[in-house]
Amino acid sequence: MRAMNDEDRYDIPMTPMIDVVFQLLIFFLVATTFVRVETDHAVRLPESEAGVKAASVPDRLVINIREDATLVVNGRIATETELRGMAAEFAGAHPERSAVIRADGRVVYQAVMRIFGICRASGVKFVDLPVMEPEKR
């Protein structure tokens, strides 16, 4: 007969513990809502003291207008004609959601108003125009 040593008495089964960790990992991956923020880093928003931090809302039409008036809609470059179709589709699918026009602060005001008009003509009821809070000096 063999004598028991400390290693034999305190054998902790690792497999059930690893299974529980993987189950928790899967649970949190499924239960977490992932929000994709459609920001174009080439766009520098204008500063305003009235700026408030925008809430991250999924299923938004995000239109970025770069300094050279290039449109980036939901992560891809688009023309105004393509924007009309996307805005009409968005308005039909999400009538109470707002579109977001993220215009560079150096863009001509007329370009922003043209995109705003396209959104409204396509049936989008609400349009947000985000700004940045001014830097504190």
H, E, C per residue of 11-28: CCCHHHHHHHHHHHHHHH
Backbone region of residue 110 per phi and psi (left: phi > 0; alpha: psi in -120 to 50; beta: other values)? alpha
Residues 59-117 have pLDDT tens digits of 788 899 999 989 999 888 999 999 999 999 999 998 888 899 999 989 999 999 999 99
Q: Residue 7's pLDDT band (boundaries 50, 70, 90)?
A: low
Q: Residue 124's pLDDT band (boundaries 50, 70, 90)?
A: very high
Q: Residue 133's pLDDT band (boundaries 50, 70, 90)?
A: confident
pTM confidence score = 0.66
pLDDT of residue 55: 59
